[in-house]
């Protein structure tokens, strides 16, 4: 970690070199020796708990054994046939609450297999080779499917459909594909344009075209698409960042944390980015943690993450919380934002202490002020209702059946915009897979 | 063995300590660990390093008549597990490629420098009485404690009519042993090859020839692997490969069997045994002694880890003996021999059932799938309400084969429990289901 003292003056910000180091791979890839040794630890469990814990059900013991036997390409095929975004998931999955938590060696030796690192070891060379030779397309079916959103759900669905022989037209609201893989994950998890290279790999299967700057409800419309194509998949994520609804939220220096991360991910020169000296991050999820750590690594003098409940109630995993702490982020719990103060620019924030009583969060009336010159808000996102038209929702998200189909016949959905599980890349990939099967079946292709 | 108890017992230093000193073929040695005839015993420099490290003796690398042999490059091949641990290795090296005189003068020097350590001279020669006798006398004159006949080398030398080419013919084993026995007045060890169908034939021949001890096993004939790019056996030497001698941990079971056969055979049971074959740990050593070995020879482990492994070989064996109350090696030597019997002497009524400790089970399912796919289907997997898996033994289906216990990664999690069925000891020859049962 960064050991350089951070001054309060802008002039003494971290050097570009230091910032480059700070945004290096959080977990460097394993070398062949490390991968071989780690793979050899795997017990090759039967009906393995790690597989059950993986939303995409990657056959983990099989791919690890393939690494151990020197069949790295086979390992990549095993991973990618279950999860075409296995490269991103190897970097971004909270494995500590998924596969690695269930690894029987966590119980037996207090040291689970480093599944994510092994997965990356197998997948990276295939992505680097940028070829889809691992998969072949079935004969063309003549069917066309429109996919709205080139995020993990949309691309997963697109790849699976392309493999089945369908043509896929993707409409993406932003300038680049990848969704949150490209814009939303922490920079030190996704170094060296990995998200872009992964998309290139996915598209390598053929039969998939993408149009950029095409947003649902602005440039493309469900009814029009339905007339032109055989089926539609919606994977638009959650567009709206939730706001705090307190005074001072429009002051300069108050920003949506996801936008902060997106700017950071897209910046050609991170050392040119504006960063406050006293940063407050509001929220308790992984986005809040990612924003806080990256603010610190950009050179913020102090970063305080404030959450209205306790650490145990945080959406961020214990591992993520520890990472924040070791990066020098202060985690402040049981504090609820009351207002943001400043003239044109944020200068401080007022909080009120909270407590939990009989399962209810109560304000205590005990107020305190924290100085701040930047506030990053990460309290979740929600679906833009106005673009949904006749689509039915449940708990604020698009409602789908087991096959991913919405209430509108021939319209399917997946990813963060449906209520399928955790808001994770791996879940979005699985949603896309399920919907692709649903669409194939809907188009008369039968169950695959 | 309870290691904690063991540690507690060694705190009491003093008269109770075991003595590793022992005798084989009349030769006294400060401990039972000798280095076998091989590259580590090729010259004074190595041997003196070994003695400084604590080895009790060495069998000098095999000597032949001049001119010395010429060796090739790419001499060793390896057999690894998936964690890159070495299970076994093979070699295509020949005998000492240094002039006989150089070796003999060095032996003399080491004898002076380390008078309390044992040096055995290993030798081989073409099957001519004079050649064997002349060479044996020369080696004996260098001051060695004994002579070992290399009748086992399964590669290279056998193509010249030596090594295993002799060891595989009992008559030649007897003759060469007798020639050396007649030529010198020091103990004679006949080293046997495992590349034979019945180890008792050469062992009995060695005894008939007058051997004071047999040393076994020599290496097992093998092709260690195939280079799939060059399409040639390993080690690959300019595009070609040949069979070599297999050694290391992997051959220990073969050696244990052959040692036991000699130890429990009426004709050879009094023959001293210098046991060789994959001895890597003190536990391996204790097992060979329990099956009748008087002393031990080690090679591969020393080649792979260096001479310093002698420290734990000595410590571990000594601690084991203290734990069990054995004062010296002869206290437990051969104790497992009476229990090594033919299949027909086993108790058909003995019944074992696997038992899985639910507290320590980590739910890997290895026991279940091993049993499921190995024909007994005796381990049930039940998914619990909380998603955990419970593995339990169906006693009626369990044949007590040990497979589940072997594949279980958790020590002591699966135990094999004897069933108290109150049935008598019945062997197959007396078993009611034996249709070939001899009439009473």
pTM, to two decimals: 0.92
Among A41, A47, A69, the residue with its CB nearest the CB of B365 is: A47
Q: Containing domain of residue A80, as a range? A: 27-129
A448 lies in a domain? no
Same domain membership, residue A342 and residue A278: yes
Same domain membership, residue A371 and residue A258: yes
Same domain membership, residue A158 and residue A209: yes
Contact list, B363 vs chain A (CB under 8 Å): 45, 49, 104, 107
CB contacts under 8 A, A 102-161 vs B, are: 104-105, 107-108
Specify the pLDDT at position A11. Answer: 52
To test the contact with chain B by mutation, choose from A33, A42, A43, A72 the residue with the greatest count of B C-beta atoms within 10 A, namely A43
Q: Which of B153, B158, B361, B404 is catalytic?
A: B153
Residues of chain A with pLDDT under 70: 1-12, 130-132
Same domain membership, residue A33 and residue A51: yes
Q: Which CATH number is A97's domain given?
A: 1.10.1060.10
Same domain membership, residue A343 and residue A247: yes
Specify the pLDDT at position A424. Answer: 93
**CA of B410 vs chain A CAs: smallest distance (Å):** 7
A22 lies in a domain? no
A136 lies in a domain? no
Quickly name the fold that domain B22-331 has: TIM Barrel (3.20.20)
Domain with CATH 3.20.20.70 in chain B: 22-331
Same domain membership, residue A294 and residue A218: no
**CA of A323 vs chain B CAs: smallest distance (Å):** 28
Specify the pLDDT at position A2. Answer: 41
Domain boundary among A329, A351, A377: A377
Same domain membership, residue A355 and residue A254: yes
Tell me if A45 and B365 make a contact (CB, 8 A cut-off). yes
A9 lies in a domain? no
Query: For the residues of B236-287, what is the DSSP string, one character each?
Result: PBTTB---EEEESGGGHHHHHHHHHHHHHSTTTTTSEEEEESS--SHHHHHH
Q: Which CATH number is A215's domain given?
A: 3.50.50.60
Domain with CATH 3.30.70.20 in chain B: 344-430
Same domain membership, residue A72 and residue A123: yes
Contact list, A47 vs chain B (CB under 8 Å): 365, 381, 389
Is A43 near chain B, with CB under 8 Å? Answer: yes
Specify the pLDDT at position A4. Answer: 41
Among A36, A40, A49, the residue with its CB nearest the CB of B363 is: A49
**CA of B7 vs chain A CAs: smallest distance (Å):** 24
Same domain membership, residue A398 and residue A368: no
**CATH architecture of the domain with range B344-430:** 2-Layer Sandwich (3.30)
Residue of A nearest to B411 (CA): A108
Q: What is the 3-state secondary structure (H, E, C) of chain A?
A: CCCCCCCCCHHHCCCHHHHHHHCCCCCCCCCHHHHHHHHHHCCCCCCCHHHHHCCCCCCHHHHHHHHHCCCHHHHHHHHHHHCCCHHHHHHHCCHHHCHHHHCHHHHHCCCCCCHHHHHHHHHHHHHHCCCCCCCCCCCCCCCEEEEECCCHHHHHHHHHHHHCCCEEEEECCCCCCCCHHHHCCCHHHCCCCHHHHHHHHHHCCCCEEEECCCCECCCECHHHHHHHCCEEEECCCCCEECCCCCECCCCECEEEHHHHHHHHHHCCCHHHCCCCCEEEEECCCHHHHHHHHHHHHHCCCEEEEECCCCHHHCCCCHHHHHHHHHCCCEEECCEEEEEEEECCEEEEEEEEEEEEECCEEEEEEEEEEEECCEEEECCCEECCHHHCCCCCEECCEECCCCCCECCCCCEEECHHHECCCCCCHHHHHHHHHHHHHHHHHHCCCCCC
A356 lies in a domain? yes
Task: Name the domain count of chain A.
Answer: 3
| Residue B439 clears pLDDT 70, i.e. is over it | no
pLDDT tens digits for range B62-79: 999 999 999 999 999 999
| Residue B6 clears pLDDT 90, i.e. is over it | no
A97 lies in a domain? yes
Domain boundary among A100, A129, A158: A129
pLDDT tens digits for range B8-42: 444 455 545 789 999 999 999 999 999 999 999 99
pLDDT tens digits for range B314-357: 999 999 999 999 999 999 999 999 999 999 999 999 999 999 99
Q: What's the rounded mean pLDDT across residues B91-103?
A: 97
Same domain membership, residue A336 and residue A279: yes
**From CA B153, how far away is CA B135, in angstroms rounded?**
18
| Residue B153: active-site member | yes
Same domain membership, residue A288 and residue A257: yes
**From CA A40, how far away is CA A37, in angstroms rounded?**
5
Q: What's the rounded mean pLDDT across residues B416-436?
A: 95
CA–centroid distance for A24 within its chain: 18
Q: What is the ipTM of this complex?
A: 0.89
A166 lies in a domain? yes
| Residue B107 clears pLDDT 80, i.e. is over it | yes
pLDDT tens digits for range A290-317: 999 999 999 999 999 999 999 999 999 9
Tell me if B366 and A47 make a contact (CB, 8 A cut-off). no
Specify the pLDDT at position A385. Answer: 82
Supply the DSSP symbol for B385. T
pLDDT tens digits for range B139-183: 999 999 999 999 998 998 889 988 899 999 999 999 999 999 999
Parallel, antiparallel or unpaired: strands A397-398 and A393-394: antiparallel
Is A40 near chain B, with CB under 8 Å? Answer: yes
pLDDT tens digits for range B238-279: 999 999 999 999 999 999 999 999 999 999 999 999 999 999
Question: How many beta-carbon pairs under 8 angstroms link A with B?
Answer: 46
Residue of A nearest to B409 (CA): A43
Among B83, B84, B363, the residue with its CB nearest the CB of A104 is: B363
Domain boundary among A357, A377, A397: A377
Give the residue, B313 or A389, on which the prediction is more confident: B313
Supply the DSSP symbol for B432. T
Same domain membership, residue A149 and residue A120: no
pLDDT tens digits for range B212-226: 999 999 999 999 999
């Amino acid at each position: 970690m960064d050991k350089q003292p951070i001054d309060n003056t802008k002039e003494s910000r971290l050097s570009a070199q230091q910032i480059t180091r700070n945004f290096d791979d959080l977990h460097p890839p394993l070398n062949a020796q490390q991968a071989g040794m780690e793979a050899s630890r795997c017990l090759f469990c039967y009906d393995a708990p790690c597989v059950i814990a993986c939303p995409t059900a990657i056959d983990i013991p099989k791919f690890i054994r393939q690494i151990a036997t020197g069949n790295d390409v086979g390992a990549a095929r095993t991973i990618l046939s279950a999860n075409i975004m296995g490269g991103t998931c190897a970097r971004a999955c909270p494995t500590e609450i998924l596969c690695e938590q269930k690894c029987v060696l966590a119980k037996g030796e207090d040291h689970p297999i480093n599944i994510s690192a092994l997965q990356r070891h197998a997948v990276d060379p295939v992505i680097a080779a940028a070829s889809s030779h691992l998969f072949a397309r079935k004969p063309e079916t003549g069917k066309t499917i429109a996919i709205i959103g080139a995020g993990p759900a949309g691309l997963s669905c697109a790849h699976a459909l392309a493999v089945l022989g369908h043509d896929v037209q993707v409409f993406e609201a932003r300038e680049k594909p990848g969704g949150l893989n490209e814009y939303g994950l922490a920079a030190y998890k996704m170094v060296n344009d990995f998200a872009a290279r992964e998309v290139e790999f996915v598209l390598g299967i053929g039969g998939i075209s993408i149009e950029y700057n095409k947003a649902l409800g602005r440039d493309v419309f469900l009814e029009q698409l339905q007339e032109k194509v055989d089926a539609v998949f919606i994977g638009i994520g959650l567009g709206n960042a939730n706001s705090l609804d307190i005074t001072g939220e429009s002051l300069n220096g108050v920003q949506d944390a996801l936008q902060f991360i997106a700017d950071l991910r897209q910046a050609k020169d991170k050392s040119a980015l504006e960063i406050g000296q006293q940063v407050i991050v509001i929220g308790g999820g992984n986005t809040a943690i990612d924003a806080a750590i990256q603010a610190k690594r950009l050179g913020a003098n102090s970063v305080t993450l404030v959450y209205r409940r306790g650490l145990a109630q945080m959406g961020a995993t214990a591992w993520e919380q520890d990472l924040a702490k070791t990066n020098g982020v202060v985690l402040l719990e049981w504090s609820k934002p009351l207002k943001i103060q400043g003239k044109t620019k944020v200068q401080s924030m007022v909080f009120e202490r909270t407590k939990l009583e009989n399962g209810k969060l109560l304000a205590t009336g005990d107020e305190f002020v924290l100085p701040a010159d930047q506030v990053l808000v990460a309290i979740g996102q929600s679906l833009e209702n106005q673009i949904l038209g006749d689509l039915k929702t449940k708990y604020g998200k698009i409602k789908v059946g087991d096959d991913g189909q919405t209430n509108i016949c021939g319209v399917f959905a997946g990813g963060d915009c449906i209520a399928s599980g955790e808001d994770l890349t791996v879940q979005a990939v699985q949603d896309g897979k399920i919907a692709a099967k649903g669409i194939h079946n809907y188009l008369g292709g039968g169950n695959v | 063995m309870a290691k904690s108890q063991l540690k507690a017992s060694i705190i009491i230093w003093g008269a109770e300590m075991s003595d590793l000193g022992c005798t084989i073929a009349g030769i006294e040695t400060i401990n039972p660990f000798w280095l076998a005839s091989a590259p580590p015993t090729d010259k004074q420099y190595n041997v003196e390093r070994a003695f400084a490290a604590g080895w009790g003796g060495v069998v000098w690398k095999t000597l032949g008549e001049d001119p010395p042999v010429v060796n090739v490059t790419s001499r060793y091949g390896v057999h690894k597990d998936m964690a890159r641990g070495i299970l076994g290795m093979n070699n295509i090296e020949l005998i000492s490629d240094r002039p006989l005189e150089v070796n003999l003068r060095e032996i003399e020097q080491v004898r002076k420098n380390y008078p309390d350590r044992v040096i055995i001279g290993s030798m081989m020669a073409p099957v001519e009485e004079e050649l064997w006798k002349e060479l044996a006398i020369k080696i004996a004159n260098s001051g060695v404690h004994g002579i070992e006949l290399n009748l086992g080398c399964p590669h290279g030398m056998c193509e010249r009519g030596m090594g295993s080419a002799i060891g595989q013919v009992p008559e030649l084993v007897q003759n060469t042993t007798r020639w050396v026995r007649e030529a010198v007045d020091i103990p004679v060890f006949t080293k046997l090859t495992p590349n034979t169908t019945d180890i008792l034939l050469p062992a009995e021949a060695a005894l008939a020839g007058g051997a004071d001890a047999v040393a076994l096993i020599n290496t097992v004939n093998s092709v260690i692997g195939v280079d799939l790019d060059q399409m040639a056996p390993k080690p690959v030497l300019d595009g070609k490969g040949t069979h070599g001698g297999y050694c290391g941990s992997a051959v220990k079971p073969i050696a244990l069997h052959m040692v036991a056969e000699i130890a429990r055979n009426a004709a050879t049971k009094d023959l001293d045994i210098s046991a060789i074959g994959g001895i890597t740990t003190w536990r391996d050593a204790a097992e060979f002694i329990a099956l009748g070995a008087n002393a031990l020879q080690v090679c591969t482990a020393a080649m792979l880890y260096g001479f310093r492994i002698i420290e734990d070989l000595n410590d571990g064996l000594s601690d084991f003996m203290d734990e069990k109350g054995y004062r010296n090696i002869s206290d437990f030597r051969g104790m497992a021999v009476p229990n090594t019997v033919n299949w027909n002497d086993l108790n058909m009524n003995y019944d074992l059932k696997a038992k899985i400790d639910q507290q320590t089970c980590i739910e890997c399912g290895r026991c279940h799938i091993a049993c499921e796919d190995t024909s007994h289907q005796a381990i049930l997997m039940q998914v619990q309400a909380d998603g955990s898996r419970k593995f339990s033994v169906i006693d009626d289906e369990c044949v007590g084969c040990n497979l589940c216990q072997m594949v279980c990664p958790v020590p002591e999690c699966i135990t094999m429990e004897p069933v108290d069925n109150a049935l008598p000891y019945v062997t197959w020859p007396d078993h009611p289901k034996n249709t070939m049962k001899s009439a009473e």
